[in-house]
Amino acid sequence: MISITSPETLGQVLRRYRKDFGLTQSEVGQKFNIPQKTVSNIEAGRPGVQLATLFKLLSALNLEISLRQREALDNEEALW
């Protein structure tokens, strides 16, 4: 399981899955009418994406989010 603790990490993981599936940003976006630029912004970890759009992208990649409590961290800066 991959720990995602920031928008940047989420974007990197989504990009990796998209590329592993052999899809372009445009192809993923077309599945749920998401502009390519929006897919790019999500993958870059840029703020401002609507949750509904994020879930559309997850659906296009056949992914889901599971939450679990974090382990105790030594460094408070790691908290987003």
Find where tokens 């990009």 sit: 15
What's the pLDDT score for residue 26? Answer: 97
Q: Is-contact 7 45, C-beta < 8 A?
A: yes
Mean pLDDT score, 60-72: 88
Retrieve residue 44's tokens. 């870059």
pTM for this one?
0.82
Instruction: For residue 23, tell me if it sits in a domain.
Output: yes
Better-predicted residue by pLDDT, 17 or 67: 17
Q: Is-contact 77 4, C-beta < 8 A?
A: no
What's the pLDDT score for residue 55? Answer: 95
Instruction: For residue 70, tell me if it sits in a domain.
Output: no
CATH number at residue 58: 1.10.260.40
Q: Domain limits at 28?
A: 7-63
Instruction: For residue 77, tell me if it sits in a domain.
Output: no
What's the pLDDT score for residue 5? Answer: 87
8 pLDDT higher than 60: yes
Q: How many domains are there within the chain? A: 1
Q: Round the average pLDDT of the chain to a whole number and report it.
A: 89
